[in-house]
Amino acid sequence: MSTVTPVTSTPPLVADKPSAAKTAKKRLSSPWASLAAIVLGVLWTIPTFGLLVSSFRPERAIKTTGWWTFFTNPTVTLDNYRSVFGEDGGVNLAAFFVNSLIICIPSVLIPLALAALAAYAFAWIEFPGKNILFLAVFALQIVPLQVTLIPLLEIFVNVKLTGTFWTLWLSHSAFALPLAIYLLHNFMREIPAGLIEAARIDGAGHVSIFFKVMLPLLTPALAAFGIFQFLWVWNDLLVALVFAGGGDEVAPITLQLANLSGTRGTAWQLLSAGAFVSIIVPVTVFLLLQRYFVRGLLAGSVKG
């Protein structure tokens, strides 16, 4: 008598569920998303392009016709830029351009250095009250900048720092530290703990781990915050108005442009040339380092 072997059905293979990273990448790379990005890019670029065209047009043409008429009757002059850089008794923006660089570089490096050390302590060092202190740092991000201006100014007046670059460096650094610490802390927490433990087994202390292990891995996050802080400080006007002391010795280019628009409200040719000079540096920095900016901001936000 033959025996019948029962047939067992094999369960159908379940397709792997796409990861969150793949799903996000697929949505962002769709044709509609690309079209929307192109449209937004064009709309965002048109005013800047119009500003560039106006900066090379003669004064009479700027005051009588729109910048788009340049293509029907192109007339180019460099007189606007000569006046902006001090030739022919014009407004010299070169000194204020240098002041902006002097203000921006320390205002980026100081919070980066302090925030990296603080973020490492919050991420990998146990100490009493760590969670409460980190919550306080996080809560400082929602404090309006305007409510801190007068108390800070009183402190700077008491220690006689007004009218110097120190007031701008310290104020910009203080305003940037909460966001910098939070951003770098989240990035450090994504680093595998096994990597830190391996370094400790090899005899590395906190100083060696920070400089030899953390800093090389922190490059995207440091670059992202550095770009963000540089753009913020370069385009700042409020802090400069409060802490620059009212003089031209430490005034940034944004403050001089504001004065120019107030005292020479009809000199559109100077305003267009000066405004375009002021945006050259931030646009160049962003275009050269945008890949680090995107990588740093998205680091750890989407897991596969």
pLDDT digits (tens, 9 = 90+) for 92-105: 788 888 899 999 99
Give residue 24's pLDDT: 56
Strand partners, 85: 92
Q: Which two tokens stand for residue 191?
A: 């680093």
Tell me how far apart the alpha carbons of residues 37 and 49 are, in angstroms, rounded to a whole number.
18
| Range with the poorest average pLDDT among 28-37, 43-52, 185-194 | 28-37
Using the structure block, give the residue that is written with the tokens 């072997």. Answer: 5
Amino acid type, 250: V
Nearest to 108 by CA among 243, 224, 246, 247: 224
Please state the rounded mean pLDDT for residues 113-128: 90
pLDDT tens per residue across span 139-153: 888 888 888 888 888
Phi, psi of 157, deg, nearest 5:
-65, -40
Percent of the chain with pLDDT over 70: 82
The band of 296, judged by pLDDT with boundaries at 50, 70 and 90, is low
Alpha-carbon span 254 to 174, nearest angstrom: 20
229: phi then psi, degrees, rounded to nearest 5: -65, -40
Which two tokens mark 302?
Answer: 């989407």
* Rg of the chain over all Cα atoms, to the nearest angstrom: 27
Contact 62, 51 (CB under 8 A): no
Give the model's pLDDT for residue 295. Answer: 66
Average confidence (pLDDT) over 257-278:
76
Task: Identify the structural domains of the chain with CATH numbers, from first to last.
Answer: 31-77 (no CATH), 94-298 (1.10.3720.10)
